[in-house]
Structure 1
Amino acid sequence: MEPFGGTEVDVRPVIGGAPARQARTVGVEEELLLVSERTGEPLALAPAVLAAAAAEPVGEGRALEKELHQEMVEFATQPHGTMDAVREELVRRRAEVARHARGAGALVAALATSPLPVQPSRNLGRRYRWMAEQFALTTEEQLTCGCHVHVAVASDEEGVGVLDRIRSWLAPINAISGNSPFWQGHDSGYSSYRSRVWNRWPSAGAYEPFGSAAAYHACVRDMVATGVLRDPGMVYFDARLSAANPTVEVRVADVCLEADTTVLVAALVRGLVETAARAWQEGEPVPAPPAALLRLASWRAARSGLDGPLLDPRTLREAPTDVVLGALVDHTEEALRDAGDLALVRRGLTDLLAKGGGARRQRDLYEEEHDLGAVVRACARITAGSD
């Protein structure tokens, strides 16, 4: 029996497929951890890795970017119309970052938090210095690696129509991506402890419906005007309008251990955006669960991950994981089918529930080795595509 509805024939190892109609483009940002090959501890080598990438005369390595701390780097894919293309670039870019890291004396690992204890080194720059002065310990604790998915929208009005309608469905995306069970040398008890650390920012997390692009932008202006935030880039809603691209940016996911999980997340996010955009175009009413309940759904997803239970977005009551993920597929089914992604999503969720995601993989590795350094090294091999 297919646990996520229907029977998809010929589900072979092909990512995506030919869309039935023109699909929205999607791009992915991934933050990756730089670690020691010997100990697995994070290394403050981002400047060296970025310099090596920038020295290449051509290639996408030049697009690597620094983040808040020197123990991590970030890359962004180009926008793509198919999940085949997203996966191809993700695998290539991860291998490219791994090559630059090796040249600097490090490994690179798709881990959303460091399993081993670390005191991060903040990158230089006026903005990062302002953040450290303003937010104190919260800034120092933010060595966390996320995955942000950008999906094209036609206008800010459509984008806000999407933001208002996807709120309830974002917590299951966090559960799917959960890849941060360890924090400062201890098992946190969470699947996504990164999301708990990230939500210490005062602007992070669930939001209320906006109703219009004008109301959204007014909210952002008012938040910055308080003086608590330096600029609109510090508005860290679970999903927001991108300031740099004509996209909705969904920001709830951990960086995923395996590229295939990232592709699954990207396909589901695109399905959510397309489903919400169609509802906005049809003038369907906006579901309006309060942000207070959505924060509880977010906590439940971070704590439980794929082991469940989760809060069902339709009722905001606890339900088994397979029921919630089945509801997510049902909700986005038409959009997934039209984009050519339905078979990919059904197969991906079935496989993920069977073998577990990044959090379970890390815990299983620790049970085998009883060595967090060995966990990090194994994850680095997976990230680079050598395991």
Structure 2
Amino acid sequence: MRTLGVEEEFLLVDPVTGQPKAVGQAVLAMSAEAELTGELQQEQLETATRPCRTLGELSAQIRSTRSTAAAAADDVGAALVPIATSPLTVSPTITPSLRYAEMASRFGLTVAEGLTCGCHVHVEVDSPDEGVAVLDRIRPWLAPLLALSANSPFWNGNDSGYRSYRTQAWQRWPCAGPYSPFGSAEEYRAFVATALATDTLLDEGMVYIEARLSRHFPTVEVRVADVCREPDDAVLVAGLVRALVQTAADDAARGSAPDPVRTEVLQLAEWRASRWGMEAELLDPLTWRPAPAAAVIDALITHATPALEEAGDLHLVRELLDAVLRRGTGAQRQREVLARTGDLSEVVRDAVHRTSAKPLS
């Protein structure tokens, strides 16, 4: 069974007002926990699980890392929030580093406003060639994963009209979003080399396509999802990613060609997922025509069922999916809280409880 792991990015906020708080460096200085790292902005903190074999193990790890991060934030008078953009107005504070300073100089407002939080899923692959074969074959199914994870309807004090506005903000970067098939590890490396030779990106870490080969681990890294409000939703997304990776690897081993769908069509699919999440029609990867979101996710499950069964994950994934369909995504929850309270700070306060049992002040 392929190992998998999850990296999650969180907002750090004032526990009374819900306003983002630039204490990322202070949190790291006070904590010796290896699973906690900083990010571009000081109003963020990132966690990482260990490689896991089962979804049960991953679930425990996600809850543990969230709890650890919430406790570390509390030590410096902040709260940890699993939402992908700040509902309240904020002028982010760049984390001190030469790399981030150069990014700020080169990319301007994209960095100055770039306070977004994603969920990155790593799944083990046998080799770079297998990894690239996987990248080529999972492309059609990434937008539905975004729809399931959508958790960023508000941006700087405004209703964006989107369910995942993080996606819109993230795609300001010059090498972000859907990608074309590569064909081989050699061609993938040629793409990276060409991208770097343009002198637009600072380094390979800025190859921000939706899924890529990890630079540090023998994994495929899928980066399309918002950070999930619910720990169970992160487990669901990770379980589906692993099943898609296994399905793609099996298809490649049988000699099945990847879907030749154009990148421009994938951009349309991602835009719809970002705009409406699970609340309207997505593009069905089997037809590239609009279809109800639940039907598209059901098609994803059907596509990956052999891999889900092989891993023993099918029952749990269906259970977790039913929970999302019943209660809604993080974006739906955020809008429900605002409709009930009329207060964006309450949206933030409500989400804090998904990382810590300790209530806000």
Q: TM-score, normalised by structure 2?
A: 0.98
Deviations for 1:114-172, whole angstroms, at most 9, x for unmatched residues?
00000000011111011111111111111000000000000000000000000000000
Name the structure 2 match of 1:373.
345
Instruction: Tell me if the contact between 1:64 and 1:74 (Cα under 8 Å) persists in the aligned partners.
Output: yes
Name the structure 2 match of 1:139.
111
1:201 aligns with 2:173: yes
Deviates more, 1:155-164 or 1:342-351: 342-351
1:316 CA drift (Å) = 1.4
1:374 CA drift (Å) = 1.3
Pick from 56, 69, 72 the counterpart of residue 84 of structure 1.
Answer: 56
Q: Which SS does the other structure have where 1:306 is aligned?
A: coil
Pick from 9, 18, 26 the counterpart of residue 48 of structure 1.
Answer: 26
Pick from 234, 241, 246 the counterpart of residue 213 of structure 2.
Answer: 241
Q: Which SS does the other structure have where 2:177 is aligned?
A: coil
1:343 aligns with 2:312: no
1:62 CA drift (Å) = 3.0
Alignment of 1:10-89 (within 5 A): 23-54=1-32, 61-89=33-61
Question: For 1:71 and 1:258, how far apart are their aligned partners in 2?
Answer: 20
Question: For 2:72 and 2:323, how far apart are their aligned partners in 1?
Answer: 32
1:383 CA drift (Å) = 2.1
**Matched letter for residue 170 of structure 2:** W
1:381 CA drift (Å) = 1.2
The runs of at least 4 consecutive aligned structure 1 residues that moved more than 3 Å come to: none
Instruction: Tell me if the contact between 2:35 and 2:65 (Cα under 8 Å) persists in the aligned partners.
Output: no
Pick from 176, 200, 222 the counterpart of residue 250 of structure 1.
Answer: 222
Count matched residues: 359
Question: For 1:386 and 1:175, how far apart are their aligned partners in 2?
Answer: 30
**Matched letter for residue 24 of structure 2:** A
Q: Which SS does the other structure have where 2:66 is aligned?
A: helix
Question: For 1:214 and 1:386, how far apart are their aligned partners in 2?
Answer: 50
- Structure 1 residues not aligned, in runs of 5+: 1-22, 55-60
Question: For 1:91 and 1:69, how far apart are their aligned partners in 2?
Answer: 23
1:364 CA drift (Å) = 0.7
Alignment of 1:111-122 (within 5 A): 111-122=83-94
Instruction: Tell me if the contact between 1:91 and 1:385 (Cα under 8 Å) persists in the aligned partners.
Output: no
1:342 CA drift (Å) = 0.3
What fraction of aligned residue pairs are identical, expressed as a percent? 51
Name the structure 1 match of 2:76.
104
Alignment of 1:79-228 (within 5 A): 79-228=51-200
1:45 CA drift (Å) = 0.4
Deviates more, 1:372-381 or 1:323-332: 372-381
- Structure 2 residues not aligned, in runs of 5+: none
Q: TM-score, normalised by structure 1?
A: 0.92
1:232 aligns with 2:222: no
Name the structure 2 match of 1:18.
none
1:299 aligns with 2:271: yes
Instruction: Tell me if the contact between 2:214 and 2:220 (Cα under 8 Å) persists in the aligned partners.
Output: yes
